A and B are shown apart, each in its own frame.
Chain A
Amino acid sequence: MVNSYSKNYQVIVVGAGHAGCEAALASARMGCSTLLLTIGLDTIAQMSCNPSIGGLAKGHLVHEIDAMGGEMGLNIDATGIQFRRLNTRKGPAVRAARAQADRMAYSARMKYVIEQEELLDLKQGMVDDLLVEKGRVVGLETREGIGFYGEAVVLTTGTFMRGLIHIGLNNYAGGRAGELSAEGLSGSLKRLGFRIGRLKTGTPARLSARSIDFSKLERQPGDQQIKPFSFVTDKIEREQVDCFVAETNEKTHQIIRESLDRSPLYSGVIEGVGPRYCPSIEDKVVRFPDKNSHQSFLEPEGMRGSEMYPSGLSTSLPPDVQLAYFRSMVGFERVEIMRPGYAIEYDFVEPMQLRASLETRAVAGLFHAGQINGTSGYEEAAGQGLLAGINAARRCQGRDPVIIGRDEGYLGVMVDDLVTQPTTDPYRMFTSRAEYRLLLREDNADQRLTELGRKIGLVGDTRWEKYLKKQEQVVAASQIIKNKSITPSDRQVVEDLDLGELKSGVSLELLLKRPEINIAQLEAVCPELSEFSRQALEQVEIAVKYEGYIKRQLEQVERFREQEEIKLPADIDYMKIPSISTEVREKLINIKPISLGQASRIQGVTPAAIAVIHIYLRKQNYA
C-alpha cells in the first residue's frame, strides 16, 4: 500500500551525504521547495572513511563549491580540528588546503544548517522505486509506503545501492557498517534501461587512542597560521589537534601475506573494481613486495572521543588478522580495534549516460551525483551535488542548465570527464587532470566562480560585497605597482630591498618580477600597499610573477574554446557522416557529445574523425 504524500515538491533529493546536502541546499536556496530523503537522519554528511576534507585538487574543489555558494567550505571551517596547507614550497597553482574534521561536529553542523533552510524538508525514508511517466520522473516511493511527488529527483546513493560489506570471507548487505542497504532502487533504475556497474571501496579499522603508545610515534602538528577554506571565513582561531605517523614493517607484511587466502579480494569473492589510488594494505603488500614499510597517518576523528583513523591501511581481511598486523607495528603493541576495517561493493550507474548538466539522458528530470556516478571522495561528491541541485532547480524554473568549462574550474573538468570517459575505477580528482592547472587555483576560485554563483542566486549579499571589494583592491593595487617607481635616490629602499646598483627608476611591478622579491617586501617599502587585504595583494603578486605562463595558458584556452564552441546539434545523424569507423560512430551515438571539443576527448575518436565531422558540419551549414 502506498500513500501519496499531500505536499508536492519541486526537487526531491535522495541521500543526505556530501552530494545530497549540497544538492538540497542549493535547490532550496534557489527558491525551489525541496525534500531531502535519507535512510538515516543521524548520519547526515557522514564521513564514512577519512575524517578529513581537502588535499590536492580536492581542496581546489572545495574552494570552487564555496565560491558558488555551496556549504562544504563553511562546514569544514566551522568544525576543522587541524588545518594544514600542502605544497607550500611549490607554486600557487598546486598549493592546497587540507583539514581534519571533528567527524560528529561536521555532521551535526550540516544537519543544523539543513534544518534551518526554509524551503527544505528533511525526512527519513528509504527509496524503493522511481515513478516515471512518459520518460520523465514524477516522484518516488519509499519502503515505508509513502509516495512523494516532485518535478525533479536527484539521486545521491553513495555506497548504499545493493551495498555488500566484506570482512574476511564473511559478507552481508549494508550501506555502511551498521547501516541498511537500499536493495530496491538499482533494480528500478535497471528497469528504466540504465547500465549499472559495480565498484568497491574500503576503509581501515578505527583504533582506540587509549591503547596507542604515542610516545613512539612521530607527531605532526597543524599550521600555526590557518588559511580558511571559505572566502567568507575571516579567521580561524581554534585549538588544533596533532596527527601521528606510524609505519608498517616486514612482520606486518608477513602476517598479511600469510592471510591472503582469507581475503575476499584475493579469493575472488569481490567483483567490484576498487580505486587505483587507494589500494588496500593487502594490495600494497602484494603489488609492491620490495617496499618493506608503508606509512600511515594516524588521524583523530574528533576533538573529544577516542577513535583514531589509520590512513592507508584500508582492508577486508578478517578482524583477527587486522588485530595481529596492527599489533606488529611500533606504538600499536597493545592496540584495541574499536571498529574493524571492511570493504564494500555497491552499484553505480555508468555516468556516460548523463548530460553535462548531470541529468540522465534516459529519464528527464532525473539527476545523479556522487558515488552513483562512479566517483569517490567527499569533495567530488559535494561538487556534483551542488551542480545537480542547481540544474534540477533550474529545470523546474525553466532555465538552461549551468555547465562549467574545463578552463573554468575543476568542477568542469570533473563533469566533462565523467560524461565523456568510461569509468574503470572510482574517479578521483587530481590536479594533473586539469589541462589549465595554472589558471585553476584555490586562490582565484572566487574570481572564477563567484559571479556565476551570484547569477544563479546562491551568492548572498555579504559574500558578493566582500568579493567586489577584493576585486577593486586587486585593480587598485595593480595600478600602484605599475605606476610607482623606485629611483636610485630612494637609497633606503634600494638598500632594504638589496637592489644593488640602480641605474634608473624601476617600477614596483618590474621589481616584483624578480624571483627574490615578494609582495610583502614591497608592502614594507610602499605604505600605500598595506591598505589592501592579503588576498588582494596575493593576486597581484601571482599575476605579475607568473604573467608569462598565465598568458600561455590563456592562449591554450583560446585554442580549446574554438573546438568547444563548435556545437554538435542534438539531431546530428552520425550514420550519415562518411568515412568514420563503426567504433567511433557507436561511441558518438552513445555519448552524444555537445561540442566538437568534447567529441575529441572521447577515447578512440581520432583527429582524422574529428576533421571529417568538422567538414561534414560545415557542409551542412551547422558550423
Chain B
Amino acid sequence: MTSLLQNLIDGLGQGSIYALLALGVAVIFGVMHLLNFAHGELITVSGYAAVAAFGSNLSWWLVAPLIIVVSIVTSLVIERVAFSRVRGASEFTQLLTSFGIHIIVSAVLIMSVGASVKTFAEPPWIFDRIDVGPLSLEKFDLLVIAVTAVTLAATTWLLQRTTFGLSLRAAAADFDTARLMGVDSDRVIRGAFALSGALAGVAGIFWLMRAGNTDPSAGIDPMLKGVLAALIGGLGSLRGAVLGGLALGVAEVLLRSQLPSSVAVLTDAVVFGLIAFLFIFRPQGLITVQHAERV
C-alpha cells in the first residue's frame, strides 16, 4: 500500500510534465486541427539555450524563466516561418510540415553546434528526498506537481476568464463562426502557439533539469510523450490531455516498479502496447470532444 502510494506520487510527478506537454499539443490541435509533431523542438531549442546560459555561469533560477521565454519565442517563430504558410492547406500538408520542422531544426543544430550531447549540471537538490510518514518523496516530484498545479490553474483562468481565452475556445469549436463574430484568426492562432510554447517551457524546465543534457534530437521523446498523452486523453480535449499525461506518467512508474526487472527495461514497449489496446476499445480517447454542429 505504501509503495503503491509512493509510486502514485512519483508517477504524478512524471505525469505532470507529460500533462503540460500534452496540453500544449491539445491547444494547437483544438484551434488548427494540427497534430504538432514539432512540439518537442521547443524543448530541443530550450535545451541549447540552457547550455549557452550555463556557459555564461547563470544559475537555474535565471535559466528557468529563460527557458520559458525561449520556448514561447521558438513556438511563435515556428508558426510564423512554417505553419502560417500552410494555413489553408490540407491537414495532411500541415502534419508533414510539422515533421519537416523537426528535421530542419535538428539538421541546423547538427551543422551549427554539432551532433554531440551537451551536458549541464542538474540542480544540486534534484535527488533530495523528504520523508512524509512512511513515504520518502523526491523534492523534485513535489516541486513539479506544485508548479504544474499552479500552471494549470493559470491556464484555466486564462481560458475561462479572459477575452483571449473565450476567443480561443470559440475558434476551437467552430473557426469560421468565430471569425464571423470578429475573432481575428491570426491573433488567436499566434496566441495558441504562445500558450503552447509557455506550457512546453514549464515542462521543458523540469525535463532538462532531470536530463542534464541535450542533443539535436532531444525533442523526440518529449514530443512523443506529449502527443501520446493528448491522444490518450482524446484529441482536442484540454482536460483529457491533462488526464492523459497524468495517466501516462503513473502507468510508466507503476510498470517500471512492479514488473520483474528483466521486463522493466521494456516499460516503454509495454506502455505503447497498452495504449494500442486502449485505442482498440476507445479510439476517441478517454474524453470525447463534442464539436459544434457542423454543416
| A and B interact | no
Which of A's residues lie within 8 Å of B, judged by CB?
Answer: none
Q: Which residues of B contact A (CB under 8 A)?
A: none
